[in-house]
Structure 1
Amino acid sequence: MIGSNRVADKSDLPAVLLCTPAIGLPEHVLSQADTLDLAARLHAGHPELRLALRLIENTGVRKRHLVRPLDETLRDTGFTERNRVFEAEAKKRVPPVVAEALTNAGLSAQDIDAIVLVSCTGFMMPSLTAWMINELGFRHDAVQLPIAQLGCAAGAAAINRAADHCRAHTGANALVVACEFCSLCYQPGDHDVSSLLSNGLFGDAVAAAVVRGDGRGTGVRLGPQASHVIPGTSDWISYDVKDTGFHFRLNKGVPGTMRLAMPHISSFTERNGHSLPSLDFHVTHTGGPRVLDALRTDGGVPEEKLWASRRTLTEHGNIASAAVFDVLRRLSDEKPADGARGLIAGFGPGITVELTLGTWQNDDPHTLTPITRTTAATAAGDTR
């Protein structure tokens, strides 16, 4: 069983809509050829260099975007400097992405009742959500929900938590922001193969999307959701937190994680009247090629339905919690038909699986008058 059946199996969930996301990519680009050359030079005497290079090539990542130039990225600095860069870059790069996401939803900052922020690559207290409220025009009574420790699964989890809020508060709108600067986790002193692989896989990005509580707009009409932690895998994806910052750790069992997750994913979709192969679209976190390969080989998902996730992985690498939003943006550009059904799936430390079923909807949000929590409650006769 996955998550709470009280949530996952309900067919009468209030309508909420995940609008078209916005994505921001840093200007510094690192190609796979550059990555391979760099790894060969920096680790020339490594006994498993050939294996590491082959693994990096097999990721299929052609390029990645970095918040800092390569020479600064490679510099060995402590946690203080890395976190200073995270805060400065977040305050620089989040605002334009948020503005675009609000425009996509046909809303303003004043229409947002909750902000869900996810990141696993830096730390701020007060959270970036408080800074956004003070500096970007959001209401001072907006609910803040910063999530820091779900890693790559956080994008899908944030969508689900935003939907929860909008369903609990009639007519409320929630903004989701994913801010991931994975290059700040580069540690030149880590020489194990998993570290070398991650150095060739992860990229930086900022993403944002609005969940409209009135269920209107263009995007995914969100339905049943589920969460699941795979037993015995809690140390398979992790951080060692040291004076130098976050040191990413991967267990050798991680490539086979999807085979462990697949029965739970299939059970969730079937319990809600669908099968994985029959769904029209898949918005899947691009953790690596084996995630997508398992959906095809073990889940029976046709390769052509994984195109958006493949393209995100190829063009941006693994951008952690921001990945599902980039995949959804690509899907939106193709304008799926009204009523197309699909799955949003995220995977991360735990090993955590976060799932949502949804239906595609095409409405122009700019022709709609926003329904706020107050007006919706008044229309429903709730005067509390």
Structure 2
Amino acid sequence: MGSEGETAVNGLHKLANPGKATILALGKAFPHQLVMQELLVDGYFKNTKCDDPELKQKLARLCMPPKIPFFHIPSSKLFIKINSVDSICAGKTTTVKTRYVVMSEEILKEYPELALEGTPTINQRLEIANKAVTDMAIEASQACIKNWGRPTSSITHLVYVSSSEARLPGGDLYLAKGLGLSPETSRVMLYFMGCSGGVAGLRVAKDIAENNPGSRVLLATSETTIVGFKPPSINRPYDLVGAALFGDGAGAIILGTDPELSIEKPLFELHTAIQHFLPNTEKTIDGKLTAEGISFKLGRDLPQLIEDNIEGFCDKLMGIVGLNDKDYNKMFWAVHPGGPAILNRMEKRLNLLPEKLVASRRALMDYGNASSNTIVYVLEYMIEETLKQNQNEKNENGDEWGLLLAFGPGITFEGILARKLIV
């Protein structure tokens, strides 16, 4: 696994309100295989030995070529082993450019049955996935702890989120063991919450932190698409969307109340968290664990359902501190980028300025939809953008308040009203 560079957070920090949960550090990690979107189509069809020209054309349409070329890589290579991506030139569009994945040519050689249609492979997939998500979660957590600046022994609670593994004991125990956490560390697992898992984990971690004064909660998320990797099939058209959109990785966040400012650097205060599900939409995001791995599909009406309900959900959160729809562009927006359509519809419905979703679009471009992890990547980019604005004295909107949002199976809306504490 390979962790990404640290986000330096310097300068002044606003004071968090006493007793309110505060994000104190972030961390992330990724597997070593980097998928270049421009090479995905040929590599995917070659590795799955599929020669259906119609399916190949459909996937090619989903993988629009980047406007700015990447460094040259032989077209026969889909999976690229890397140590860093400093030499990659990033474009400025909403399309995915790069993603990290656990799947590799070595794995396909060892487990060729993973690319065969109709073969029971759940045992092999979980054998690979269970280890991979633990390794990534450990590395992301270690990066987070390093950024935090306090010893691992100061962690009192662990919240672990994943939709990519299934075992007893769960990944929370293996993560605690890998980090050397105290056996008295209180653990919570959140399984199979999909894209809403990261913000749901923050909601649970917030409650734990605020109800246990002096506690420090580690939230870790870890995901891999290997459990759902399948050859293309005309009977499963949504698999092509998954192949073009989803990525692997891990994220970590440390939360606590009443930060020790001599050591800790508060980033965001989590003021209020709510959850809401839309009745009779449980089939819109439909996933099943089968003998062949995870199979899922998304309804075509998903972006419309989110668009139709987003205003009321956001207004409920904003009203808590007296904000209303006229304040949308005075806030920051940390939105899980489920896909470009969702971001575009939100932007249109709420009349958001283009810069409001920059962090979400950057995360989608660089990492794809990495399920529960992605909110961590969005928050890191938001910190980076804020520091850049402050340095250039261009932060004219004064976006102290904002929303953390994600949407998952149910359809479930997760939202947190937050304060940015970076000055």
Structure 1 residues 271 and 110: CA distance shift in structure 2, 3 A = same
2:185 to 142, 154, 167: 142
How far does residue 43 in structure 1 lie from its aligned partner after superposition?
A: 5.2
* Partner SS state of residue 123, structure 1: coil
Whether 2:337 is the aligned partner of 1:277: answer: no
* Partner SS state of residue 57, structure 1: coil
User: Quick check: 1:56–1:197 contact (8 Å CA) kept in 2?
Assistant: no
Structure 1: which 5+ runs fail to align?
Answer: 1-11, 364-384
User: Quick check: 1:181–1:203 contact (8 Å CA) kept in 2?
Assistant: yes
What pairs with 1:187-336 in structure 2 (closer than 5 Å)?
Answer: 187-188=230-231, 190-191=233-234, 192-215=236-259, 217-272=265-320, 273-274=322-323, 275=325, 277-336=328-387
How far does residue 325 in structure 1 lie from its aligned partner after superposition?
A: 0.2
Which of 163-172 and 183-192 deviates more?
A: 183-192
Deviations 1:187-246 (A, max 9, x none): 226442211111111000111010122245231111111101012210111222211111
User: Quick check: 2:102–2:225 contact (8 Å CA) kept in 1?
Assistant: no
* Partner SS state of residue 130, structure 1: helix
Task: Give the aligned partner of residue 162 of structure 1.
Answer: 205
How far does residue 92 in structure 1 lie from its aligned partner after superposition?
A: 2.5
What pairs with 1:104-115 in structure 2 (closer than 5 Å)?
Answer: 104-115=147-158
Task: Give the aligned partner of residue 367 of structure 1.
Answer: none
Structure 2: which 5+ runs fail to align?
Answer: 1-16, 66-93, 115-120, 391-397
Q: Distance in 1 between matches of 2:18 and 2:416?
A: 12
Aligned Cα root-mean-square deviation (Å): 2.4
User: Quick check: 1:308–1:331 contact (8 Å CA) kept in 2?
Assistant: yes
Structure 1 residues 280 and 339: CA distance shift in structure 2, 3 A = closer
Whether 2:94 is the aligned partner of 1:57: answer: no
Task: Give the aligned partner of residue 33 of structure 2.
Answer: 28
2:401 to 341, 350, 357: 341
How far does residue 104 in structure 1 lie from its aligned partner after superposition?
A: 2.1
Deviations 1:312-363 (A, max 9, x none): 1011110000000011111222345697221111111111110001111139
User: Quick check: 2:332–2:399 contact (8 Å CA) kept in 1?
Assistant: no
Structure 1 residues 50 and 132: CA distance shift in structure 2, 3 A = closer
Deviations 1:259-297 (A, max 9, x none): 133133332244222246234321111110011112210
Q: Distance in 1 between matches of 2:197 and 2:222?
A: 11
Q: Distance in 2 between matches of 1:49 and 1:135?
A: 42
* Partner SS state of residue 360, structure 2: helix
* Partner SS state of residue 113, structure 2: coil
Task: Give the aligned partner of residue 76 of structure 1.
Answer: 113
Structure 1 residues 229 and 31: CA distance shift in structure 2, 3 A = same
Q: Distance in 1 between matches of 2:351 and 2:313?
A: 12
Task: Give the aligned partner of residue 371 of structure 1.
Answer: none
Normalized against structure 1, the TM-score is what?
0.84
User: Quick check: 2:129–2:226 contact (8 Å CA) kept in 1?
Assistant: no
User: Quick check: 1:339–1:361 contact (8 Å CA) kept in 2?
Assistant: no
* Partner SS state of residue 130, structure 2: helix
How far does residue 256 in structure 1 lie from its aligned partner after superposition?
A: 2.0
Name the amino acid aligned to 1:145.
Answer: V
Which of 158-167 and 56-65 deviates more?
A: 56-65
Q: Distance in 2 between matches of 1:131 and 1:270?
A: 38
* Partner SS state of residue 19, structure 2: coil
Q: Distance in 2 between matches of 1:23 and 1:134?
A: 19
**What percentage of residue pairs aligned between the two structures are identical?**
22
User: Quick check: 2:25–2:255 contact (8 Å CA) kept in 1?
Assistant: no
* Partner SS state of residue 175, structure 2: helix
Q: Distance in 1 between matches of 2:312 and 2:103?
A: 39
User: Quick check: 2:59–2:244 contact (8 Å CA) kept in 1?
Assistant: no
User: Quick check: 1:341–1:359 contact (8 Å CA) kept in 2?
Assistant: yes
Aligned residues: 352
